[in-house]
A and B are shown apart, each in its own frame.
Chain A
Amino acid sequence: MRDVAIIGVGVTKFGELWDKSFRNLISEAGTKAILDAGIEGKDIDALYVGSMSPGRFVGQEHIGALVADCSGLDTLHIPATRIEGACASGGMALRQAYISVASGINDIVVVGGVEKMTDVVGGEATNILAMAADQEWEAFFGVTFPGLYAMIARRHMYEYGTTREQMAEVAVKNHENGLLNPNAHFHRKITVEDVLNSPKVADPLTLLDCSPISDGAAALILAPLDEARKYTDKIVKIIGSGQASDSLALHGREDICTLRATVEASRQAYKQAGIEPKDVDVAEVHDCFTIAEILAIEDLGFVKKGEGGKAVEEGMTRLDGEIPVNPSGGLKAKGHPVGATGIAQAAEIVLQLRGEAGKRQVKDAEIGLTHNIGGSGASCVVHIMEVV
């Protein structure tokens, strides 16, 4: 296997972008990444794109070819493949791109992630997101996606004494970080009281425990490490990649408070990288709901099971804490265009490792981790990166 580097990143603004189409978003992100890497279109050997449900969100399938086409790569006839794994579609696309370069099949690969979620009306986005759950045995009975995480939250409170205030602190921190990210969906400071007093969505979770419905896209350029210097001197190496699955339905898992897919995917990635959780300097984790960030820091091994709430409360995961988590604002404040999320997380870690993260820069970050979840935890992708 060859070593693989990320040599370019591109991210669009995230938010309710009524004037931007699916095509506008992904071509903007891809173009930015290509310019950042200093490559040309003809250098690209293959394209991967993660997107969860363009068929339902914008009525379009056949996304690989569409993205090559609207990015001006159709005349090159490169292989263009769309990857789907619910909210982990982006992370999975990155892993497929990584494998294709590591294997020697491709040299320069562009990998994107995109979702255009605000072209549907009313509660349709809620229905579409619920398709990541088990349609026949969960959603049929009226459970929503926030409902599944609410059930995890209630059980976590019951088993470990995690409090509503500790969960709210996740949202408060991520909104603080989002203030420093010009591309974030939200630029608004919130308080614990704001979270607790916001409208109930699925008790015990309120509106401000939930990540928003966002439009957005992100892209990366991958290259063999040996060739990366031909294009750029800003090189970040992928040192670990892991992916795992679990039962589709939450009720199919023995321990409701542990995402075994996270435990397994991170075990693979740590092993490949030859590092331990304590070696991670900065992490972008999948905080689709506040409780999900608490689960993530436990299941990634940053803290012991059950101690996630306390760690957040004590500031361990703040920008100036022991392991800063979600400096970008996370899904909560940066926004969560589902297919884009896994790629945007990697883009943030690359900027952090290059020292180009502006006001949200984590000091002396050398090793970064991304953690991307699909559904209520049936899929997980973890990547670990190091500055070269």
Chain B
Amino acid sequence: MGLAVPRFWREIPYRYNLIGSRCRVCNRIFFPPREVCPYCRRKSLGKMEEMKLKGRGKLITYTIIYTPPSNFENQVPYAVGIVELDEGPRITSQIVDCDPEKLRIGMRVEAVFRKIQEDGDTGAIYYGYKFRPVGEDEDKGETG
């Protein structure tokens, strides 16, 4: 669609480092970061602080995409899921590094840093998080 680079550049801290936000009134945690807590609203103004998320969680649901949008044609079939992070927020992401047929609801996953898409041969390359399955016994330590 030809959007200027800043449209993507300004989201880099959040997409590269999984930075969400916490409401200092009710302690709820959000991703992507929010300006206003939808539970505390005006009381939360000026009280939302950035917070780095650990990038671990469980798979709530998923799909395997066969008809892709632009820029994803060479990736099909690929899995996309909704992950519930251990801190609470839910996040939409590709699920990678495994056979999509072996995915199951409830499985543990962790965030990895990957290329998401590129604007043709000469445009910008966009990076961010994807998630991959992790065995229960390996499920400790920092984000991969």
- How large, as a class, is the contact surface on chain B? 20 to 34
- Tell me if B32 and A201 are in contact (CB < 8 A): no
Given contacts A137-B92, A251-B91, contact A144 B68 (CB under 8 A): yes
- Tell me if A199 and B80 are in contact (CB < 8 A): no
0/1 string, B69-94, CB within 8 A of A gives 1: 11010010110111000000011111
- Tell me if B105 and A136 are in contact (CB < 8 A): no
Chain A, range 203-233, C-beta contacts under 8 Å to B: 203-205
Does any Cβ of A come within 8 Å of B116's Cβ?
yes
Given contacts A141-B93, A251-B82, contact A151 B63 (CB under 8 A): yes
Does any Cβ of B come within 8 Å of A20's Cβ?
no
**Among the listed A130, A138, A205, which residue makes an inter-chain contact with B92, where contact means beta carbons less than 8 Å apart?**
A138
- Tell me if A139 and B69 are in contact (CB < 8 A): yes
Chain A, range 130-159, C-beta contacts under 8 Å to B: 130, 134, 136-144, 146-147, 150-152, 154-155, 158
* List of B residues within 8 angstroms of A249 by Cβ: 92
A-B residue pair count with CB separations less than 8 angstroms: 98
Does any Cβ of A come within 8 Å of B126's Cβ?
yes
- Tell me if A200 and B64 are in contact (CB < 8 A): yes
Chain B, range 1-55, C-beta contacts under 8 Å to A: 1, 11, 32
* List of A residues within 8 angstroms of B32 by Cβ: 136-137
Does any Cβ of A come within 8 Å of B67's Cβ?
yes
B9 to chain A, nearest CB (A): 13
B128 to chain A, nearest CB (A): 7
Does any Cβ of A come within 8 Å of B60's Cβ?
yes
Does any Cβ of B come within 8 Å of A250's Cβ?
yes
- Tell me if A142 and B82 are in contact (CB < 8 A): no
Interface-central residue, B65, B68, B90, by most chain A CB under 10 Å: B65
- How large, as a class, is the contact surface on chain A? 35 or more
- Tell me if A203 and B63 are in contact (CB < 8 A): yes
* List of A residues within 8 angstroms of B62 by Cβ: 151, 154
- Tell me if B90 and A147 are in contact (CB < 8 A): no
Does any Cβ of B come within 8 Å of A252's Cβ?
yes
**Among the listed B64, B92, B105, which residue makes an inter-chain contact with A141, where contact means beta carbons less than 8 Å apart?**
B92
A143 to chain B, nearest CB (A): 5
Does any Cβ of B come within 8 Å of A60's Cβ?
no
B59 to chain A, nearest CB (A): 10
* List of B residues within 8 angstroms of A155 by Cβ: 60-61, 105
Given contacts A136-B32, A137-B92, contact A142 B63 (CB under 8 A): no
- Tell me if A201 and B80 are in contact (CB < 8 A): no
Inter-chain CA distance A177–B12, complex, in Å, is 49
**Among the listed B11, B75, B90, B126, which residue makes an inter-chain contact with A251, where contact means beta carbons less than 8 Å apart?**
B90
Q: Select from chain B the residue with minimum beta-carbon distance to A204.
A: B63
Does any Cβ of B come within 8 Å of A103's Cβ?
no
Chain A, range 173-219, C-beta contacts under 8 Å to B: 199-205
A150 to chain B, nearest CB (A): 4
* List of A residues within 8 angstroms of B66 by Cβ: 199-203
- Tell me if B65 and A202 are in contact (CB < 8 A): yes
- Tell me if B67 and A256 are in contact (CB < 8 A): no
Q: Pull 25 A–B residue pairs with CB atoms less than 8 Å apart, ordered by A.
A: A126-B69, A134-B92, A136-B11, A140-B116, A141-B93, A141-B116, A141-B130, A142-B78, A143-B65, A144-B65, A147-B63, A151-B63, A151-B80, A154-B105, A155-B105, A158-B105, A200-B64, A201-B67, A202-B64, A202-B66, A202-B67, A205-B63, A251-B82, A252-B90, A256-B61
A-B contacts besides A144-B65, A146-B67, A155-B60, 4 pairs, CB < 8 Å? A130-B69, A147-B65, A151-B62, A151-B81
Which 9 pairs from chain A and chain B are nearest by CB? A150-B63, A203-B64, A155-B61, A251-B90, A200-B66, A151-B61, A143-B80, A202-B63, A142-B72
